[in-house]
Structure 1
Amino acid sequence: MKFAYRFSNLLGAVYRQGNLNFSKDGNAVISPVGNRISIFDMKNNTSETLPISTTKNITCVGVSPDGCLAVVVDEDGAALLVSLITRAVLHHFHFHKPVSSIRFSPDGRKFVVTKENVALMYHAPGKQREFNAFVLDKSYYGPYDETTCIDWTDDSKCFVVGSKDMSTWVFGAERWANLIYYSLGGHKDVIVGCFFEKDSLNLYTVSQDGVLCVWESDTEPDGLVLKKSVDKSKPARPEEDEEEEERAEGEEGEVIRGKTETPKTNSKIKNVRYKQISKHFFNKEGEFNNLTAAAYHKPTHILVTGFASGIFHLHELPEFNLIHSLSISDQRIASVAINSSGDWIAFGCSRKGQLLVWEWQSESYVFKQQGHFNNMASLAYSPDGQYVVTGGDDGKVKVWNTNSGLCFVTFTEHTSSVTSVTFTSSGFVIVSASLDGTVRAFDLHRYRNFRTFTSPRPAQFSSLAVDVSGELVSAGAQDSFEIFLWSMQTGRLLEVLSGHEGPVSSLSFSPVQSVLASASWDRTVRLWDMLDSWQVKETLPLTSDGLCVTYRPDGQQLAVATLNGEISFWNPQTAAQTGSIAGRHDLEVGRKETDKITAKQSAKGKSFTSLCYSADGESVLAGGHSKFVCIYNVQEQMLMKKFEISCNLSFDAMEEFLDRRKMTEFGSLTLVDDGAGDEDGVDISLPGVRRGDMSSRHFKPEIRVSSLRFSPTGRSWAAATTEGLLVYSLDGSLVFDPYDLDLDVTPASIRKQLRLQEWASAIVLAFRLNENALKQEVLETVPQQQIPVVCGSLPDIYVEKLLGFVASCLEKSSHLQFYMSWAQNLLMLHGQRLKNRSASIVPTLQSLQKSIQRHFDNLSKLCDFNMYNIRYAVALSKQKGIKRPAEEEEDDEDEGMSEASVEETDLML
């Protein structure tokens, strides 16, 4: 199962479009990111991306009241029923038209979907024993234009639908005699939100032009009467009296058509009526600002409204008292959500890809994350695998925690695209190169830019490398064809290496020697000797333009990707080529919508642009202008596995063939732009123009992989793509991978050995069965004093496996000293034999270092906190007033003890 990597997480993107939802407990935000769903847990400070994806970008998500199910709908109307417990897809469905909103009823028995000008009510899956998960109950017609929003009453008896035709419609979820439908006007723009008051039929409606209407009903929810009970008490009515309601039983379910005139009244039952009691305006003093999102928390009566200018307001209803007003950005707020307790408010800004959670009572951010505004250009892992740094076309350098999946620092000093990023060997310094003509070094202790390297003449740096010692920094220019060398210590320019006759596309330092390899578009790879006055040591001739060069971790091999789609392997000592892989056919490039040629013809010009060796050096990871990432075996020069990183058809160059159904006499239908302008509500000034501004730009990003890296632990790899930073891991998948299995290896036989206190035998059997839970049970049963004896008697073949398992347990377990004892004894007793297999043991040792470093960081913070508290207490005791001599003597003793305890804490740290 060496290459059984599964999608693990999506970093670098937190929100794209669609509606935000809170989990049932209110501690996590469920956010649509492209065609995937991410869950951000703010209580535990972690993020998780579900291993499901739709065929296009997600537009709306509906979460059931119990928090177990979610209905996810994409731009085309294709829906997935997802279990939020098992993270699995339960059902596929297609609404055949774009869906604007979806909402479950509070009792969880129904959900309403709005598409075009119709509201469809379905039975919620799982509540009744039905073969089909999506059973249509009723169809509601009323609005003349597209529907925009939904809300339910608390008792699930009625729901309200807002529309673009400026009307709001109240419908009965059951066949009520006194409320079939009711149409409300009063607005002059698109309805953005409509909300029922708590335990009432009273309504609030909010429109795009910033107007709030308050509607009062003359009937309580208990006053709704079922039609069947009325029908029994009176004779059957003639057919002409049923004009207000048309029913068509069958596949479509029951159809209810609303009309603009008031429904006919029943002589016995008075129909529900609404009255507008007040009207409020958000846009005061003549300023016009489109209201783009709204949410209402019924228990606290708080209305949150977001605007196109990035401002949001909190009002208390029905008095319309302004509680709070703040500007979170200069971009449009696309979605607003409030958690169940009403403390936290989530905001999504689609333009910036920003997700914020605001606690309004303390006026502070609980959560604030933003992805790269443009494409992500490069990435690098820290030496211990705990952090990933990314550089983007927006000029930002972001550092992400691989455990939590969240960004904890952003450096914004660059003024142009960041082309390359890397860590130094210490892991505390990040170096980045940019097209703005600077190379910058950032300190991860103080979060500051402490070095800026520049060239004598302005140059655009396209590649970057730092040597093993962290002292030499090199960057290649794409306009002057030169390589610049600086000293990290002094910041001075040491040398300018000239010789290439084309842009320098990639640089790589040897891990074992002071040799720099540079690949260029002039069809050469040059090896520069850093010790011998920076002279060219060797020149390797290539068959095509060099795009990427990288050293094997042991420094004994060099891999080069060229423009003709080949990966060639070289021996840097003898300058001889040892092999090559023709990978153009493995890329499988898709056809762009503007291409005049087929995908097969366009693939001839495609190639790999990023390479990375695995930690053991046996395989190489390759990616480029395609949705595929390939893993090749270097020795056999063959494809081992191919990963499809995305199936999102909202990106360009995804399909091999153009869709013939989209071809018209004017060409492809996708190229005929129907004025799909900004979502900010551009004024429609021309007759016949359906939406947007005809001069606005329509952009569809192309899928590509710009950078790839294996984690130092070897357990995962990351790819910087158009979607974001995709992480594929071996840890997330439940793969049963037994080792040397026979009939005697069973859980029962393993536990029998434990009862007999045959510890070494039990460990060997558990690792042969290779079930993590059982391995952990066996290890934790072994007494602490027996650990050295067991480690000494283990066969060599199991030592490496046990060390890897201890490293993974150490990361999550609270038994810190116990697992540290295992690691220490294994390394002390088998260190020499492990050293002989240094290439294969490196990932395991990196994983162990990552786990220990994480615990060290957490404990050192706790120790620092305790130490400062002790010092504060000592300082406070010294500041007390005049004391009696006896008290002073006692205090002196206490101070001595306190100072001693502080010294002990310092020694521990």
Structure 2
Amino acid sequence: MVLTGKQREDLHQAILEYLSGLGSTFAQSATAFQQDAGLTMTGESDPTKTGLLEKKWTSVVRLQRKVMELESKIQQLEEDAKLGGIVSRRDVTGVTRDAALLPRAPPKYSMSGHRSPITSVVFHPVFSVVVTSSEDATVKVWDFETGEFERTLKGHTNAVQNVAFNPAGTLLASSSADLTIKLWDFSSDGSYECKKTLRGHDHNVCGLVFSPSGDHIVSCSRDTTIKIWEVETGYCTHTLKGHSDWVRDVCVSEDGLYLASGGNDRTITLWDLQQAKAIQWMREHEHVVETVQFAKGIQQTAIEAIHGKKVAETTGQTFTRYLLSGSRDRTVRLWEAFSGLLLMNFVSHDNWVRSVRFHLSGKYAISASEDKTIRVFDIETGRCVRTLKDAHNHFLTTLDVHPTLPLIVTGSIDKFVNVWECV
């Protein structure tokens, strides 16, 4: 690149200003450069040149970062176009289309602080907070609007496997390989202290979830059992037995009447919580079932509009509950839980699927995998309409979707927590 005479003179003057501004550190260099460049230094510095070199340098860094972001977005748009997916909320004529907000690279924030792999992430239902758990035996609290770390919750003596908020966001539950579940005070005037420790499982406590009322917690464990706990007293009111191996994950339906569980026995079990018994089994997965998730609210309505007729014609049922599952067989599957009917089998991942969530609209399934990708699947067509490649530098382990905002958060073995915007 060739500079004009004026540009070269300004550059030399800026370099001289920079060297002179460092005092005695580069005094000899400044003198030598001044002589070689044929410059004169007046008694007063030129305010237009002061700090110019630093400003140019930081501007270049910012521009490089912006260029990288734009290149990433262009690549994503090209992939979307190839897949026939949603490219933008406006078409080339500027007319707004009815498009869902899907996660897009790069991440808004990439937060680090854990000393071991991330095991779980969860958004607070009210505040701009995301909570993470890790194999380092800690729970950490972050502000997802700023990307800043807030605090660490300590108390577990082994890897923390999962974290979950009650519907009001006033309590956080954490489960651990130390065989306990801890309840933390997250009320507005709370101290973030551990209020209770629940004991009863005989092995690693993995999945856990609050009931919609917030009165109970459901947990699952490597001891092959599922336990239902009363939040107020900390007592275990029921122990559900039915799985023949490690139970990896549990979820509760929106009405609080049904529970789904999945685990190492490759089975998804549907439970009637009022009767405390299993009522349906889904066994099509070919490997460990890592994750299960019920559709709720508008999600249930959207899926019913797409698949309800098929369910009714196939099973005769009109009362439905839709369920997502992810497995080490590299698939994500959509089920009607009462009938056990497999509706969709999403095949695209190249490694274990570790976490699945419904998109807020219910029209998409979002998954995180050990192939280092986040994928978005169309519930109706079964196509993968969005892939975020190399979402982390190592296996993805966990994913959560914000209950109201267009955000998702992921965690990985690389010890980082990434917040992604949906646009």
TM over 0.5: yes
Query: Would the aligned equivalents of 2:408 and 2:422 in 1 still touch at CA under 8 Å?
Result: no
The change in CA–CA distance for 1:227 and 1:473 in structure 2 (over 3 A counts) is: closer
- Find the counterpart in structure 1 of residue 102 from structure 2: none
The structural deviation recorded for 1:411 is 1.0
The change in CA–CA distance for 1:126 and 1:720 in structure 2 (over 3 A counts) is: farther
Deviations for 1:800-831, whole angstroms, at most 9, x for unmatched residues?
Answer: xxxxxxxxxxxxxxxxxxxxxxxxxxxxxxxx
- Find the counterpart in structure 1 of residue 270 from structure 2: 527
1:572 aligns with 2:337: yes
Matches within 5 A, 1:458-607: 458-478=202-222, 480-532=223-275, 534-544=276-286, 545-554=288-297, 556-584=321-349, 587=350, 606-607=351-352
**Residue identity in the other structure for 2:408:** W
CA RMSD across the alignment: 3.1
The structural deviation recorded for 1:642 is 0.8
Q: Give the Cα–Cα distance (whole angstroms) in 1 for the partners of residues 143 and 267 of structure 2.
A: 37
**Which protein, 1 or 2, shows the higher relative CO under an 8 Å CA cutoff with sep ≥ 6?**
2
Matches within 5 A, 1:835-854: none
Q: Give the Cα–Cα distance (whole angstroms) in 1 for the partners of residues 251 and 4 of structure 2.
A: 56
* Structure number with larger C-alpha Rg: 1
Query: Would the aligned equivalents of 2:115 and 2:415 in 1 still touch at CA under 8 Å?
Result: no
Query: Would the aligned equivalents of 1:553 and 1:615 in 2 still touch at CA under 8 Å?
Result: no
Secondary structure (helix, strand or coil) at the match of 1:421 reads: strand
Query: Would the aligned equivalents of 2:280 and 2:338 in 1 still touch at CA under 8 Å?
Result: no
Deviations for 1:642-674, whole angstroms, at most 9, x for unmatched residues?
Answer: 112448xxx5xxxxxxxxxxxxxxxxxxxxxxx
- Find the counterpart in structure 2 of residue 374 from structure 1: 116
Matches within 5 A, 1:113-512: 129=7, 154=21, 159=26, 172-175=29-32, 226=35, 371-384=113-126, 386-444=128-186, 445-455=190-200, 458-478=202-222, 480-512=223-255
Deviations for 1:308-338, whole angstroms, at most 9, x for unmatched residues?
Answer: xxxxxxxxxxxxxxxxxxxxxxxxxxxxxxx
Secondary structure (helix, strand or coil) at the match of 1:490 reads: coil
The structural deviation recorded for 1:384 is 2.8
Q: Give the Cα–Cα distance (whole angstroms) in 2 for the partners of residues 516 and 465 of structure 1.
A: 10
**Residue identity in the other structure for 1:452:** T
The change in CA–CA distance for 1:158 and 1:450 in structure 2 (over 3 A counts) is: closer
- Find the counterpart in structure 1 of residue 84 from structure 2: none
**What TM-score results when the alignment is normalised by the length of structure 1?**
0.33
Q: Give the Cα–Cα distance (whole angstroms) in 2 for the partners of residues 429 and 127 of structure 1.
A: 67
Q: Give the Cα–Cα distance (whole angstroms) in 2 for the partners of residues 486 and 712 of structure 1.
A: 24
The structural deviation recorded for 1:728 is 1.3
Matches within 5 A, 1:669-818: 703-721=394-412, 722=414, 724-730=416-422
- Find the counterpart in structure 1 of residue 92 from structure 2: none
Query: Would the aligned equivalents of 2:224 and 2:243 in 1 still touch at CA under 8 Å?
Result: yes
The structural deviation recorded for 1:498 is 1.4
Q: Can you give the 5+ residue segments of structure 2 that lack an aligned partner in the other structure?
A: 39-110, 301-320
Q: Give the Cα–Cα distance (whole angstroms) in 2 for the partners of residues 503 and 707 of structure 1.
A: 18
Secondary structure (helix, strand or coil) at the match of 1:172 reads: helix
Q: Give the Cα–Cα distance (whole angstroms) in 1 for the partners of residues 352 and 210 of structure 2.
A: 26
Q: Give the Cα–Cα distance (whole angstroms) in 1 for the partners of residues 269 and 22 of structure 2.
A: 74
- Find the counterpart in structure 1 of residue 70 from structure 2: none
**Residue identity in the other structure for 2:269:** R
Q: Give the Cα–Cα distance (whole angstroms) in 1 for the partners of residues 174 and 32 of structure 2.
A: 65
The structural deviation recorded for 1:128 is 7.0
Q: Give the Cα–Cα distance (whole angstroms) in 2 for the partners of residues 572 and 729 of structure 1.
A: 31
The structural deviation recorded for 1:385 is 5.6
The change in CA–CA distance for 1:607 and 1:154 in structure 2 (over 3 A counts) is: same
Query: Would the aligned equivalents of 2:270 and 2:338 in 1 still touch at CA under 8 Å?
Result: no
The change in CA–CA distance for 1:527 and 1:171 in structure 2 (over 3 A counts) is: farther
**Residue identity in the other structure for 1:527:** L
Q: Give the Cα–Cα distance (whole angstroms) in 1 for the partners of residues 227 and 4 of structure 2.
A: 65
Q: Out of 632, 635, 639, which is 2:384 matched to?
A: 639
- Find the counterpart in structure 2 of residue 627 from structure 1: 372
The structural deviation recorded for 1:126 is 12
The change in CA–CA distance for 1:642 and 1:370 in structure 2 (over 3 A counts) is: closer
The change in CA–CA distance for 1:511 and 1:175 in structure 2 (over 3 A counts) is: same
**Residue identity in the other structure for 2:369:** G
Q: Give the Cα–Cα distance (whole angstroms) in 1 for the partners of residues 417 and 5 of structure 2.
A: 38
The change in CA–CA distance for 1:422 and 1:128 in structure 2 (over 3 A counts) is: farther
Query: Would the aligned equivalents of 1:434 and 1:460 in 2 still touch at CA under 8 Å?
Result: yes
Query: Would the aligned equivalents of 2:376 and 2:387 in 1 still touch at CA under 8 Å?
Result: yes
The change in CA–CA distance for 1:370 and 1:618 in structure 2 (over 3 A counts) is: closer
Secondary structure (helix, strand or coil) at the match of 1:175 reads: helix
The change in CA–CA distance for 1:564 and 1:171 in structure 2 (over 3 A counts) is: farther
The structural deviation recorded for 1:639 is 0.7
Query: Would the aligned equivalents of 1:157 and 1:172 in 2 still touch at CA under 8 Å?
Result: no
The structural deviation recorded for 1:154 is 2.9
**Fraction of identical pairs, as percent:** 19
The change in CA–CA distance for 1:704 and 1:370 in structure 2 (over 3 A counts) is: closer
Secondary structure (helix, strand or coil) at the match of 2:115 reads: coil
Deviations for 1:754-802, whole angstroms, at most 9, x for unmatched residues?
Answer: xxxxxxxxxxxxxxxxxxxxxxxxxxxxxxxxxxxxxxxxxxxxxxxxx
Deviations for 1:349-405, whole angstroms, at most 9, x for unmatched residues?
Answer: xxxxxxxxxxxxxxxxxxxx9711222211111223622111111111122222233
Deviations for 1:701-734, whole angstroms, at most 9, x for unmatched residues?
Answer: xx12111111112411111122511111147xxx
The change in CA–CA distance for 1:427 and 1:540 in structure 2 (over 3 A counts) is: same
The change in CA–CA distance for 1:566 and 1:155 in structure 2 (over 3 A counts) is: closer
The structural deviation recorded for 1:573 is 2.5
The structural deviation recorded for 1:609 is 0.8
The structural deviation recorded for 1:155 is 5.3
Q: Give the Cα–Cα distance (whole angstroms) in 2 for the partners of residues 171 and 465 of structure 1.
A: 67
Q: Give the Cα–Cα distance (whole angstroms) in 2 for the partners of residues 633 and 514 of structure 1.
A: 28
The structural deviation recorded for 1:157 is 7.7
Q: Can you give the 5+ residue segments of structure 1 that lack an aligned partner in the other structure?
A: 1-90, 92-124, 138-150, 160-169, 177-224, 230-368, 588-605, 652-702, 732-909
Query: Would the aligned equivalents of 2:118 and 2:411 in 1 still touch at CA under 8 Å?
Result: yes
The change in CA–CA distance for 1:383 and 1:152 in structure 2 (over 3 A counts) is: same
Q: Give the Cα–Cα distance (whole angstroms) in 1 for the partners of residues 139 and 285 of structure 2.
A: 35
Query: Would the aligned equivalents of 1:464 and 1:476 in 2 still touch at CA under 8 Å?
Result: yes
Query: Would the aligned equivalents of 2:19 and 2:30 in 1 still touch at CA under 8 Å?
Result: no
Number of residue equivalences: 318
Q: Give the Cα–Cα distance (whole angstroms) in 2 for the partners of residues 174 and 429 of structure 1.
A: 65
The change in CA–CA distance for 1:720 and 1:171 in structure 2 (over 3 A counts) is: farther
